[in-house]
């Protein structure tokens, strides 16, 4: 599918601090996201610069997690937060509820 990309490294924590897996927040258990890093074969473009790759990524199935700039969260706590805050619960109360779970 992405024949313009070559695999580089795994973010699996083998080299200590630098290539650590992403820690995702979840309600029931700790979740680590071990990901693969790719680079373009022939030049220095980024995935965000390539419309073909962006189109392919948008057509993928719904991911079981949300990955943000500095944190990640699985869909389970995301649903809890959105449902509870939509019903009027304050973020502090949602955090307390999550802690009790």
pLDDT on residue 58: 62
Residue 11: beta bridge partners?
35
Helix axes 91-100, 75-86, angle to 10 degrees: 130
Model confidence pLDDT, tens digit, residues 31-57: 988 888 877 777 666 655 667 666 766
Pick the residue with more confidence: 33 or 59?
A: 33
Which residue bears the tokens 């999550």? 98
Q: Per the structure block, which two tokens stand in for 3?
A: 């024949």
pTM, full prediction: 0.60
* Residues near 53 by beta carbon (within 8 Å), at least 6 away in sequence: 2, 4, 5, 47
Residue 31: beta bridge partners?
24
Q: Per the structure block, which two tokens stand in for 46?
A: 């980024």
d(CA 101, CA 84): 14
């Amino acid at each position: 599918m992405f024949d313009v990309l070559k695999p580089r490294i795994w973010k699996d924590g083998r080299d200590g601090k630098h290539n650590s897996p992403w820690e995702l927040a979840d309600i029931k258990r700790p979740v680590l996201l071990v990901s693969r890093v790719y680079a373009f074969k022939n030049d220095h473009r980024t995935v965000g610069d390539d419309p073909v790759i962006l189109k392919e990524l948008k057509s993928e199935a719904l991911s079981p997690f949300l990955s943000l700039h500095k944190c990640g969260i699985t869909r389970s706590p995301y649903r809890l937060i959105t449902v509870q805050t939509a019903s009027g619960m304050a973020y502090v109360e949602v955090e307390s509820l999550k802690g009790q779970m």
